[in-house]
Amino acid sequence: MNASNAREHWRVTHRRAAGERAVVSAALAGIAPPAGPWRVTLTREGRGTMDDDGLASAGKAVRDAVAAWLGVGDSPAAPVAWHYCQRRARGYAVTVRVEALDGSPSRG
């Protein structure tokens, strides 16, 4: 969901983002990230498609959780190249692909 277009109470937005971060953090727990710098591709699956700025906004909580897992921030100065993709699907999901910039993908 593109939270920037949602008209909802801030607590609802906060709760959803916290839930998304928790799910991503749990999925990455126990997996060691490859040595950086990294290329991270976040692929959103959903019934519809979003414009580019909405896609990045919808992936904000996931991006924060991945950056925390890598042990870096998500600022432009961080050693991470962030990429966003999307594809149509019946349900909703996010696929996270982390690659060392030397080309070897992470395991997991």
Domains by residue range for the chain, with CATH:
3-100 (3.30.1330)
Q: What's the whole-number mean pLDDT along residues 21-45?
A: 93
pLDDT for res 101: 86
Structure confidence at residue 36 as a pLDDT band (50, 70, 90): confident
- In Å, how far are 8, 44, 94, 107 from 50, measured between CA atoms? 19, 9, 14, 29
- The least confident of 9-18, 44-53, 77-86 is 9-18
> According to the model, what pLDDT value does residue 108 have?
46
**pLDDT single digits (tens) 50-108:** 998 889 888 999 999 999 999 998 888 899 999 999 999 999 999 999 999 876 655 54
| pTM value > 0.85 | no
What pLDDT, on a 0 to 100 scale, did the predictor assign at position 82? 94
Q: d(Cα 43, Cα 35) in Å, to the nearest integer? A: 22
Nearest alpha carbon to residue 63 among 8, 17, 16, 6: 17
